[in-house]
């Protein structure tokens, strides 16, 4: 719990769940089972620092639901890691996977460290030891529990995990599927890095293309011309800003922990990123105005606000000052339940994290499938498609007597690469999930917001899985 919310993170998730459960017809026992965390592994292990001292690590892995296997969820390295947070994030993963029709149960892991205070060698030791602890307790495996990157981790850590797992499980042919978010050379999939940010863009774009929703918000249809503010310039925030800007929106504000910057004419996220790389801060970016408190960016006048940092940044203390018409939750749990009540009262549309940032797990699912099939996406059909398209184009030109331009020729003849197929699958996933949630929301006038509708979708899908398994009558 914090001063800004009377609930812990996990209790906030439970509160949102209970709010939605009223709009379902499932037995209370089924609802309690869905809500509960099935397995919590809390561990302690020692590592030797570079200076020879021994430090005891605090780490967790939570498997929230086993209605589908394997469990799926990231591993974060952060000083803020605790059991409550990991349980909450694992629960959100269960609901997230259900909403976007990815057949995983929810999981999450974390190690309580600040990775900036450790050398690469120390981080490798910590990651490998954590993996070995998971193997000992059967908390990792392509059919059991599949971690992924999260806050403070990335491709490097995932490569260490798969290498450690493989060494402890020699001969396991599907070992590469024990973790996702790996480098492409180690079995990763192209398109994974930008997946969460691209998924956020696709989800918000789909909402913005609904005329009735936009009319209610007083906005025009589409993302073009929309004024966007992004809090967080990490991987998710960077790519979210990139895709909005490339598709005609204006990113007028960017925030990081050191402060925020504003420019009504728009900011280029890559230029800001390079400025920060050179100077150590996004502040004093040429042509922009400094906002020395990063949370000030949340209160800027804009059409779309994207909190892409940490949880609880929009709460009872500042929710009344939010001026955005749409909030797209790219981070996990950036808005508290109290903030949701304010949004309902103010007519702000909050697109919930539990499905909006599912791009990462969706593409992780594609990576997992690739690891199990042992075939790169596009390898079997790319050349066939190109040859077929070339023949069709040739026939059209011959019959019409007209030739297409070189640019159009390249576009028409192009056979899908792996990244094309991944992006296409992600776009389909986000569009379908958005429409399903909106249909639930519109079909029941008593459902107060999109988050509750998303939870209703998740509850119904998980409960149906249990019912079909015969676990419950």
Is the pLDDT at 373 greater than 90, yes or no?
Answer: yes
Count of the separate structural domains present in the chain: 2
Q: With beta carbons less than 8 A apart as the criterion, state whether 348 and 216 touch.
A: no
Is the pLDDT at 198 greater than 90, yes or no?
Answer: yes
288 in a structural domain: yes
| 369-to-187, 214, 314, 336, 444 alpha-carbon distances in Å | 11, 37, 36, 35, 36
Write b or e for each residue in 394-419: b if 16 or more Cβ atoms lie within 10 A of its Cβ, otherwise e. eeeeeeeeeeeeeeeeeeebebbbbe
Q: Which of 134, 167, 186 is the last residue of a domain?
A: 186
Are residue 138 and residue 212 in the same domain, yes or no? no
CA angle in degrees (0–180, nearest 5) for 231-235-238: 55
CA angle in degrees (0–180, nearest 5) for 185-188-192: 130
465 in a structural domain: no
Is the pLDDT at 196 greater than 60, yes or no?
Answer: yes
100 in a structural domain: yes
Worst-scoring range by mean pLDDT, 92-106, 332-346, 353-367?
A: 332-346
143 in a structural domain: yes
The CATH number for 64's domain is 3.40.50.10860
362 in a structural domain: no
Are residue 181 and residue 160 in the same domain, yes or no? yes
DSSP code of residue 445? T
Half-sphere exposure of 392 (CA within 13 A, CB side): 10
Is the pLDDT at 473 greater than 50, yes or no?
Answer: no
**Sign of the CA dihedral with 183 first, then 196, 298, and 114 last:** negative
pLDDT tens profile 415-467: 889 999 999 999 999 999 999 999 999 999 899 999 999 999 999 999 998 87
376 vs 184: CA distance, rounded Å: 10
Are residue 270 and residue 157 in the same domain, yes or no? no
Averaged over 98-111, what is the pLDDT?
Answer: 96
68 vs 96: CA distance, rounded Å: 13
Q: How high is the mean pLDDT of the chain?
A: 92
The CATH number for 319's domain is 3.40.50.720
List Cβ neighbours of 205 (8 Å cut-off, separation of 6 or more): 222, 223, 247
428 in a structural domain: no
> Are β-strands 105-111 and 259-262 bridged in parallel, bridged antiparallel, or unpaired?
unpaired
Q: What is the largest CA-CA distance in the chain?
A: 78
Residue in this structure with the two tokens 């999109």, named with its chain if needed: 450
What φ, ψ does residue 395 adopt, rounded to 5°? -65, -40
345 vs 24: CA distance, rounded Å: 24
Q: With beta carbons less than 8 A apart as the criterion, state whether 60 and 81 touch.
A: yes
129 in a structural domain: yes
Q: With beta carbons less than 8 A apart as the criterion, state whether 329 and 92 touch.
A: no
108 counts as catalytic: yes
Are residue 218 and residue 338 in the same domain, yes or no? yes
135 vs 405: CA distance, rounded Å: 56
58 vs 160: CA distance, rounded Å: 19
Model confidence at 61, in pLDDT bands (50, 70, 90)?
Answer: very high
Q: Which residues pair with 307 in a beta bridge?
A: 231
217 vs 211: CA distance, rounded Å: 10
**Percent of the chain whose pLDDT exceeds 70:** 97
pLDDT tens profile 26-51: 999 999 999 999 999 999 999 999 99
Are residue 124 and residue 203 in the same domain, yes or no? no
Q: Which residues pair with 306 in a beta bridge?
A: 230
Model confidence at 128, in pLDDT bands (50, 70, 90)?
Answer: very high
Selecting among 96, 108, 193, 250, the annotated active-site residue is 108
pLDDT tens profile 274-320: 999 999 889 999 988 888 766 678 888 999 999 998 778 888 888 99
**Tokens encoding 108:** 């999450």
Helix (H, G, I), strand (E, B) or coil at 225: coil
Residue 16's closest CA among 105, 95, 97, 102? 95
Are residue 273 and residue 146 in the same domain, yes or no? no
67 vs 383: CA distance, rounded Å: 39
Are residue 294 and residue 151 in the same domain, yes or no? no
Q: Which of 324, 339, 356 is the last residue of a domain?
A: 356
Are residue 160 and residue 209 in the same domain, yes or no? no
Are residue 202 and residue 247 in the same domain, yes or no? yes
Q: Which of 356, 374, 395 is the last residue of a domain?
A: 356
Q: With beta carbons less than 8 A apart as the criterion, state whether 88 and 35 touch.
A: no
Are residue 115 and residue 169 in the same domain, yes or no? yes
What φ, ψ does residue 227 adopt, rounded to 5°? -95, 120
What φ, ψ does residue 310 adopt, rounded to 5°? -115, 175
| 450-to-2, 354, 361, 438, 441 alpha-carbon distances in Å | 25, 11, 21, 7, 7
Averaged over 205-211, what is the pLDDT?
Answer: 96
**Tokens encoding 46:** 């020692």
Peptide bond into 70 cis (omega under 30): yes
Are residue 77 and residue 213 in the same domain, yes or no? no
Is the pLDDT at 270 greater than 80, yes or no?
Answer: yes
Burial tier of 142 (Cβ tally within 10 Å: 0-12, 13-18, 19+)? buried
Burial tier of 273 (Cβ tally within 10 Å: 0-12, 13-18, 19+)? middle
Residue 104's closest CA among 352, 375, 367, 420? 367
322 vs 307: CA distance, rounded Å: 12
459 vs 465: CA distance, rounded Å: 10
Averaged over 344-367, what is the pLDDT?
Answer: 93
399 in a structural domain: no
373 vs 189: CA distance, rounded Å: 13
Worst-scoring range by mean pLDDT, 161-175, 362-376, 389-403, 415-429?
A: 389-403
Structural domain containing residue 330: 195-356
Are residue 173 and residue 45 in the same domain, yes or no? yes
Averaged over 402-416, what is the pLDDT?
Answer: 86
| 440-to-247, 299, 326 alpha-carbon distances in Å | 29, 30, 19
Q: Which residues pair with 328 in a beta bridge?
A: 351
Is the pLDDT at 472 greater than 60, yes or no?
Answer: no
Model confidence at 346, in pLDDT bands (50, 70, 90)?
Answer: very high
325 vs 334: CA distance, rounded Å: 16
219 vs 217: CA distance, rounded Å: 6
């Amino acid at each position: 719990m914090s001063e800004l919310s009377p609930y812990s993170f996990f209790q906030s998730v439970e509160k949102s769940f209970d709010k939605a459960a009223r709009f379902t017809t499932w037995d209370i026992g089924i609802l309690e089972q869905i809500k509960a965390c099935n397995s919590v592994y809390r561990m302690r292990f020692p590592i030797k620092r570079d200076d020879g001292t021994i430090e005891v690590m605090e780490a967790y892995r939570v498997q929230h639901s086993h209605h589908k296997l394997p469990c799926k969820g990231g591993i974060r390295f952060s000083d803020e890691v605790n059991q409550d947070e990991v349980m909450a994030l694992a629960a959100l993963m269960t609901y997230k996977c259900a909403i976007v029709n990815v057949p995983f149960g929810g999981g999450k892991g974390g190690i309580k460290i600040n990775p900036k205070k450790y050398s690469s060698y120390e981080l490798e030791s910590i990651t490998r030891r954590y993996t070995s602890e998971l193997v000992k307790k059967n908390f990792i495996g392509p059919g059991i529990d599949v971690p992924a990157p999260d806050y403070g981790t990335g491709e490097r850590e995932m490569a260490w995990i798969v290498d450690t797992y493989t060494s402890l499980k020699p001969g396991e042919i599907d070992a590469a599927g024990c973790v996702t978010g790996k480098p492409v050379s180690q079995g990763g999939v192209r398109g994974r890095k930008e997946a969460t940010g691209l998924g956020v863009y696709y989800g918000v774009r789909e909402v913005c293309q609904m005329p009735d929703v936009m009319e209610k918000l007083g906005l025009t249809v589409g993302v073009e011309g929309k004024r966007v503010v992004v809090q967080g310039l990490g991987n998710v925030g960077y790519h979210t800003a990139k895709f909005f800007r490339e598709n005609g929106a204006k990113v007028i504000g960017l925030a990081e922990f050191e402060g925020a910057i504003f420019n009504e004419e728009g900011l280029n996220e890559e230029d800001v990123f390079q400025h920060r790389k050179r100077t150590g801060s996004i502040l004093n970016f040429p042509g922009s105005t400094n906002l020395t408190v990063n949370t000030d960016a949340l209160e800027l006048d804009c059409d779309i606000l994207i909190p892409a940092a940490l949880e609880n940044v929009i709460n009872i203390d500042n929710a009344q000052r939010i001026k955005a018409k749409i909030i797209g939750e790219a981070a996990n749990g950036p808005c508290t339940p109290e903030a949701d009540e304010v949004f309902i009262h103010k007519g702000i549309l909050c697109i919930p994290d539990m499905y909006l940032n599912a791009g990462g797990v969706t593409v992780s699912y594609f990576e997992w499938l690739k690891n199990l099939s042992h075939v790169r996406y596009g390898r079997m059909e790319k050349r066939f498609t190109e040859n077929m398209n070339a023949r069709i184009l040739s026939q059209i030109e011959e019959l019409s007597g007209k030739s297409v331009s070189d640019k159009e020729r390249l576009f028409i003849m192009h056979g899908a690469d792996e990244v094309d197929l991944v992006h296409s699958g992600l776009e389909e996933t986000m569009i379908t999930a958005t429409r399903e949630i909106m249909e639930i929301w519109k079909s029941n006038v008593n459902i107060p917001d999109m988050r509750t509708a998303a939870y209703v979708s998740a509850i119904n899908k998980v409960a149906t899985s249990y019912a079909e398994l015969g676990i419950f009558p």
